[in-house]
């Protein structure tokens, strides 16, 4: 008979210990240790030498050819997945509450069902009638999707064994409850056990399983990080509540490029695709104003142009304020230090505000030069020409370092009607016809030529 004992589990990494402590010894996180009831199962069975057989790597192509991907009618979703849905894959989707995860997955389920996949949608948070109401609002009432409202993992797996679906959507993994684990639903042990069982089902039956995960206040998927290691793909659904844009971002993908994004627009009839996000992010841009600069970035394999906005104002406080939305605050401090140390332009006694328009989040260092241009434009009250794009990485010495995919950035800028670009020297520009390209080697030259300061 199974015996229950008390263990202490870290909610950040899933490490277990026999006693409580304020700091996890495995990952170093504070106040993440929680008490749970662990169950020890029956003794292990004797080894079966017929299981776990190996095959030569050179024979894999002849033994079993991998089944082809299945593409949906949502091109942005297919792009993030790496070209379509891979049979037998486990996918974890996270996002803030109310951002549209269930809407996205219901539209995706209908799209894949229209492509010929047997699709089952399991909801642990809503009744089947509530899911039908959403489907009617989205115009998907005729979709060939099977619905279920259940939280008991044993019953769900029994249903899936009988249905034999090609795609399973679990909304959400935190509501699943395994009766073999003596802890409350949503706890670390329950989430880990449910994710393991569903991932094993996906690999064994060849069905793709999509699990919805709640996120913490820090924006990370709630539960142990080991769940992200179990699955094949981790997607984040991002967006600001004040904007209609939604971005589906791939942070891990074993079957395609990571950091790929798909852009959607939230409308009254659900999520609609945005095939050209650069035009959408720049659609509300008005007349050129000081502090506004267009940055040519790369998200995954896609070039995306967005607007960086800066505001520099005197402060009556002894400690100036540094506020950043959509970019790394530590990197802003580095840019300000380089401008003061290498170019002689101080920001002491000045509040600095930086914003990425449209709710975008930028993580690549190629935005350094665009941020510096926006800060200098706001400080000197000089507008950067509206038809100019800026990109480049700034080193601590003040030198400008070339960035990847310069040619794709310039091609996207030329396609959207921009006529000038400022980039670091040494980048492979390719065919820059129709675009006035200015390449510079250091930040001091950039400041002197564009703003006449420094």
With a CB cutoff of 8 Å and minimum separation 6, the contacts of 249 are 80, 235, 236, 237, 238, 259, 260, 261, 299
Q: Are 103 and 95 in contact, with CB atoms under 8 Å apart?
A: no
> Which residue has tokens 């793909």?
233
88 annotated to bind ligand: no
Spatial separation of the C-alpha atoms in residues 254 and 321, rounded to whole Å = 41
Q: Are 306 and 295 in contact, with CB atoms under 8 Å apart?
A: yes
With a CB cutoff of 8 Å and minimum separation 6, the contacts of 183 are 36, 37, 189, 190
CA 305 to chain centroid: 18
Number of residues in the chain = 454
99 annotated to bind ligand: yes
Helix (H/G/I), strand (E/B), else coil: 137: helix
Q: In what order do the strands lie in the sheet with 16-17?
A: 16-17, 3-10, 33-40
Q: Are 36 and 6 in contact, with CB atoms under 8 Å apart?
A: yes
Angstrom distances, CA of residue 162 to CA of 120, 133, 156, 195, 448: 12, 26, 10, 20, 71
95 annotated to bind ligand: yes
108 annotated to bind ligand: no
97 annotated to bind ligand: yes
300 annotated to bind ligand: no
Helix (H/G/I), strand (E/B), else coil: 424: strand
- Could you say which DSSP state residue 245 is in? E
Residue 197: other Cβ atoms inside 10 A: 17
84 annotated to bind ligand: no
256 annotated to bind ligand: no
Beta bridge partners of 119: 145, 167
Residues making up the annotated binding site for ATP are: 95-102
Residues making up the annotated binding site are: 95-102
């Amino acid at each position: 008979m199974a015996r229950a004992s008390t263990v202490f589990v870290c909610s950040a990494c899933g490490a277990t210990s026999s006693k409580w402590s304020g700091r996890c010894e495995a990952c170093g996180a504070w106040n993440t240790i929680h008490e749970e009831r662990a169950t020890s199962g029956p003794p292990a069975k004797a080894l079966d030498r017929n299981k776990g057989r190996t095959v030569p790597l050179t024979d894999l192509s002849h033994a079993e050819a991998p089944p082809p991907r299945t593409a949906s009618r949502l091109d942005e979703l297919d792009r993030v997945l790496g070209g379509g849905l891979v049979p037998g894959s486990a996918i974890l989707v996270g996002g803030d509450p109310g951002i549209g995860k269930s809407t996205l997955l219901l539209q995706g389920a209908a799209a894949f069902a229209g492509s010929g996949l047997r699709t089952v949608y399991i909801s642990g948070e809503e009744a089947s009638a509530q899911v039908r109401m959403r489907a009617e609002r989205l115009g998907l009432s005729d979709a060939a999707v099977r619905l279920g409202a259940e939280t008991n993992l044993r019953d769900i797996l029994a249903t899936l064994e009988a249905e034999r679906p090609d795609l399973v959507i679990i909304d959400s993994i935190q509501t699943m409850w395994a009766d073999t684990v003596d802890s409350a639903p949503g706890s670390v042990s329950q989430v880990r056990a449910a994710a393991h069982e569903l991932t094993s089902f996906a690999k064994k039956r060849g069905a793709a399983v999509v699990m919805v995960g709640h996120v913490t206040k820090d924006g990370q998927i709630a539960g142990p990080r080991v769940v992200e290691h179990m699955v094949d793909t981790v997607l984040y659904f991002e967006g600001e509540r004040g904007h209609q844009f939604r971005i589906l971002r791939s942070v891990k993908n074993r079957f395609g490029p990571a950091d790929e994004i798909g852009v959607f627009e939230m409308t009254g009839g659900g999520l609609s695709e945005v095939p050209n996000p650069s035009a959408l992010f720049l659609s509300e841009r008005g007349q050129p104003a000081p502090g506004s600069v267009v940055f040519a970035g790369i998200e995954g394999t896609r070039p995306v142009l967005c607007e960086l906005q800066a505001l520099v104002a005197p402060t009556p406080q002894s400690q100036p304020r540094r506020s950043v939305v959509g970019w790394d605050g530590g990197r802003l401090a580095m840019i300000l230090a380089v401008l003061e140390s290498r170019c002689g332009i101080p920001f002491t006694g000045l509040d600095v505000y930086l914003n990425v328009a449209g709710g975008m989040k930028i993580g690549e260092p190629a935005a350094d030069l665009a941020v510096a241009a926006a800060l200098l434009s706001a400080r000197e009250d000089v507008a950067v020409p509206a038809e100019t794009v800026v990109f480049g990485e700034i080193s601590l010495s003040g030198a400008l370092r070339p960035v990847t995919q310069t040619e794709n950035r310039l091609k996207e800028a030329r396609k959207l009607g921009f006529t000038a670009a400022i980039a670091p020297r040494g980048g492979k520009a390719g065919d820059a016809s129709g675009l006035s390209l200015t390449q510079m080697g250091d930040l001091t030259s950039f400041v002197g030529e564009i703003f006449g300061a420094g």
